[in-house]
Structure 1
Amino acid sequence: MALAPNSAAPALATEDSASRRSYLFPFILVTCVFFLWGMAHNLDSILIPHLKKACQLNNRQSTLVDTAVFMAYFLMAIPAGVLLKRFGYKNSIIIGLVAFAAGAFLFIPAASALSYGLFLVALFIIGCGLTVLETAANPYAAVLGAPETSTTRLNLAASFNGLAALVAPVVGTKLILSGKEYSAAQLAAMPEATRLAYFTHEAASVKLPYLTLGGILLLVAVLFYFVSLPEIKAEESEPSEGGGFFAVLKHKHLSWAVVAQFFYVGAQVCVTSFFIRMAKQGGGLDELTAGYYLGLYGLLFMAGRFIGTALLKYVPSQRLLSIYAVAAIVLCGVAVLGNGAYVIYALGGLGFFMSIMFPTIFSLGIAGLGSDTKPASSWLVMSIVGGAIMPYVMGTVIDLQGDNTQAGYVVPLACFVVVLLFGMSGYRVRGRLV
């Protein structure tokens, strides 16, 4: 069933149809922000195998790329909520864009120094910027219109995040991956100068894409600064629900959503972080072909977002979430047990069925929270720390299983079971504060 009015976003302080129409351009700008942070996250899927090779890392060490980004979500969620409350949606988005750009520019000295530690610092700063952006942009997209269509609107904006899942792997494969790989024995046989030159050249390939990304982010920040945007607020008459940061967790459906989002994001990052390794090992592809297949995964992810957004007009969001979770569980099983083309099909299918999970969990989690939406948003963003933890768990499983990437896919499978439980019962609005 459709969400009831006022169930997924605060009541809007709108006065007439003209003010409603004024939300269109702000929504377009916010949608651009969804695309940009999608680029950052999906380039990480290229960075992990690339830096693993350039910096000679094992699977666990390579997942520190995810840890750096998503730990920032955990540490910055409360400060991001404070920024949002004090400075509003527009200024918070500008702050997030500038921090994001600063981290992107730091890739240049990191690559020059061939320093994995400095790469991780840069990624942490990017993660801080992304935290502020998501804390502001997700609820802003949800409230830029009628409350009863907030889930559809949030999925539409997130569809352009899905577009980035197509664009980033193609751009990353073209500009970052070289396709040159050497075994440990071949590297050991190289003269030291040749070996160092190879590693330095591999690391340097990240400079152009991240320099370009940083420049675009600054341009978008300038655009936000000079464009007048509505600062949507809850109606003055709307009472607080008891509103402290920890008090909002007494809304049981929000607590459930935080847990579900933790495991969903963990699952998504696991799937994408090890996609190239999985396509090489289980599907028999070379590095460059696997990178382009990651772009195909992104295409299916994007298609899933648009199709899912359309289906939400006819299927209750929690039911569609449950159906997609069941499909993802089955596909993870195929990825673990299959081989060759079946593994590739399973990975692509996961992209399609994961597509609506984040925005749907987010929207169901803030349903009916009124003026508690902002602290609830911080909790849902903070739960993204699952992307820091679960890939490390998966990398550990892979290393313990003798570098068997397929065995590691039991980790996202277990995560999707939690998402299924949320879609079946955890979403229900109950236990509200009085």
Structure 2
Amino acid sequence: MSTAIEKNNSKQSSFIPMVIVGGLFFVFGFVTWLNGSLIPFLKIACELNHMEAYLVTMAFYIAYTIMALPVAAVLKRVGYKNGMVYGLLVMAIGAVIFIPAAQARMYSVFLLALFILASGLTMLQTAANPYIVLLGPKETAAVRISIMGLLNKSAGIIAPIVFTAFVLSDISQFDETRLAMLDEVERNAALLDLSSRLVMPYIVMAIMLAILAVMIKFSPLPEPVLEDDKDDSDDKWAILRFPQLIFGALTLFFYIGVEVIAGDTIGLFGQEMGVTNFGQLTSYTMAFMVVAYLTGMAVIPRFISQETALALSGALGIILTILLLTSSVESADVWQNLFSWTGVPEIPNVVLYVALLGFANALVWPAIWPMALDGLGKHTSTGSALLIMGISGGALMPMIYGYLVESSGNSQSAYWIMLPCYLIILWYALHGHKIKSWTK
């Protein structure tokens, strides 16, 4: 992929841009992986069933599909740097809307706030992901994205812990048995008190996002420019000529689906399995993702290629899903044998397998992006938007999982929905990314 940096910035090292964009990826992770703790919280505060609770993921991730192409048009007009600034400001607006939602305990307003937050994230990600790809050789793009992923998932470890400390403390007083003993007035007052715990954290978040926007605006972040990056108005459908991109976007759809299922359903699943620290379980998934990112940075491309890493990820996802579906819900011997030395509270095997999917998932995103964008040239910004649209898998797949739970009454068996997703990831790694033309 041929790129050029504006001449007046040609001597600047890529280190500073990497640091700046790395900070943004930390923000992505913190905001995104709060959902894993937010889902069981809102399920209690707004008295929801599984399907209703997973509307959190629907509202959040559907924004990527609805907003991706409009955002691509905005980026062509204002540039990558300003796009990041505008994205942060939109996110700040979304965080502010959480305040009246929490004060009124209105689930519909929570969903609106999540949609606006994710719309800002869409602009940030559409600008930042290709930016990282363009900052160096294509062969090491997966390593650079892995560094960003490491920051993203590190934030995903921290966010549930912070959320639990400030919002989920003493959550046991809001269990269904105790709430059922209260009359309607007392029950509503207790749940409103719980919901109001969100006000201060989201005030702080809005302020921090606004400050970040100002810092990015006045930062020395250079503007990447694709060679021959001109409006292709004479052929608006040119992007569809690249099979590796189309298949890449579809693969990302199913990948984001399983990533969000692993990160955002583990809290409710753990709660049903009797795990007391269920609000922190997303941190377990993120921790395994961090380990995988570090592993990927060490071995790609020195020992294995991006393609091989993607194939291994798909295969491991299949194996872990089968273990999850077939294991006893009562045993915790895997944690006791492998992870008791950490001092972290143990979890049942089935919950651990959900967390371990983080290890299988981590290298999928950084591998697919350079493979899918290979050879797009001036179509890269539109291709990036198409890949971002694949994030809508995070909206639909958890909803399907929630439907399966509600219809079967079994949270464990509903995880079968991940098997076809990992098979598609494996196919793209072995064959799909090699298809460069529809006519061959």
Calculate the TM-score normalised by the size of structure 2.
0.90
Alignment map for 1:225-244 (pairs within 5 Å): 225-236=217-228, 244=235
Q: Cα 1:386–1:87, aligned 2, differ >3 Å: closer, same or farther?
A: same
How far apart are residue 210 of structure 1 and its match?
1.8
User: 292, 298, 310: which one pairs with 1:310?
Assistant: 298
Any gaps of 5 or more consecutive residues in structure 1?
1-5
Moved more, 127-136 or 189-198: 189-198
Q: Distance in 1 between matches of 2:12 and 2:74?
A: 27
- Tell me whether 1:196 sits opposite 2:185 in the alignment: no
User: 406, 416, 429: which one pairs with 2:422?
Assistant: 416
User: 104, 121, 138: which one pairs with 1:113?
Assistant: 104
Partner SS, residue 412 of structure 2: helix
Contact 1:167 1:298 in 2 (8 A): no
Contact 1:65 1:120 in 2 (8 A): yes
Partner SS, residue 56 of structure 1: coil
What amino acid is the match of 1:24?
Answer: F
Alignment map for 1:15-414 (pairs within 5 Å): 19=10, 21-178=12-169, 179-180=171-172, 184=176, 186-236=178-228, 244-282=235-273, 284-286=274-276, 289-313=277-301, 314-338=303-327, 339=329, 340-341=331-332, 342-402=349-409, 404-414=410-420
Q: Distance in 2 between matches of 1:383 and 1:277?
A: 25
What amino acid is the match of 2:357?
Answer: L
Match of 1:427 in 2: 433
Deviations 1:115-157 (A, max 9, x none): 0000001001001101101100100111123343222212212
Match of 2:337 in 1: none
Q: Distance in 2 between matches of 1:316 and 1:190?
A: 59
How far apart are residue 72 of structure 1 and its match?
0.8
Contact 2:256 2:394 in 1 (8 A): yes
How far apart are residue 337 of structure 1 and its match?
2.1
Q: Cα 1:149–1:56, aligned 2, differ >3 Å: closer, same or farther?
A: same
How far apart are residue 219 of structure 1 and its match?
1.0
How far apart are residue 416 of structure 1 and its match?
1.4
Contact 2:267 2:280 in 1 (8 A): no
Q: Cα 1:358–1:225, aligned 2, differ >3 Å: closer, same or farther?
A: same
Match of 2:339 in 1: none
Contact 2:266 2:351 in 1 (8 A): no
Partner SS, residue 105 of structure 1: helix
How far apart are residue 329 of structure 1 and its match?
1.4
How far apart are residue 323 of structure 1 and its match?
0.4
Q: Cα 1:109–1:406, aligned 2, differ >3 Å: closer, same or farther?
A: same
Q: Distance in 2 between matches of 1:272 and 1:398?
A: 17
Paired residues, number: 419
Q: Distance in 2 between matches of 1:94 and 1:183?
A: 41
How far apart are residue 249 of structure 1 and its match?
2.1
Deviations 1:308-358 (A, max 9, x none): 122212211111111011111111222222223221331231111211112
Contact 1:89 1:231 in 2 (8 A): yes
What amino acid is the match of 1:60?
Answer: M
Q: Cα 1:244–1:167, aligned 2, differ >3 Å: closer, same or farther?
A: farther
What amino acid is the match of 1:280?
Answer: Q
How far apart are residue 241 of structure 1 and its match?
8.9
How far apart are residue 182 of structure 1 and its match?
5.2
Partner SS, residue 43 of structure 2: helix
Partner SS, residue 227 of structure 2: coil
Partner SS, residue 434 of structure 2: coil
Q: Distance in 1 between matches of 2:378 and 2:138?
A: 13
Match of 2:338 in 1: none
Q: Distance in 2 between matches of 1:242 and 1:329?
A: 43
Q: Cα 1:258–1:292, aligned 2, differ >3 Å: closer, same or farther?
A: same
How far apart are residue 209 of structure 1 and its match?
2.1
Q: Distance in 2 between matches of 1:133 and 1:162?
A: 16
Partner SS, residue 233 of structure 1: strand
What amino acid is the match of 1:150?
Answer: A
What amino acid is the match of 2:100?
Answer: P
Q: Distance in 2 between matches of 1:298 and 1:309?
A: 16
Moved more, 176-185 or 322-331: 176-185
Moved more, 263-272 or 175-184: 175-184
What amino acid is the match of 1:331?
Answer: L
How far apart are residue 365 of structure 1 and its match?
0.9
How far apart are residue 188 of structure 1 and its match?
3.5
Calculate the TM-score normalised by the size of structure 1.
0.91
What amino acid is the match of 2:382?
Answer: P
Match of 1:3 in 2: none
How far apart are residue 432 of structure 1 and its match?
7.9
Contact 1:81 1:374 in 2 (8 A): yes
Q: Distance in 2 between matches of 1:152 and 1:14?
A: 24
Contact 2:33 2:282 in 1 (8 A): no
Q: Cα 1:357–1:241, aligned 2, differ >3 Å: closer, same or farther?
A: farther
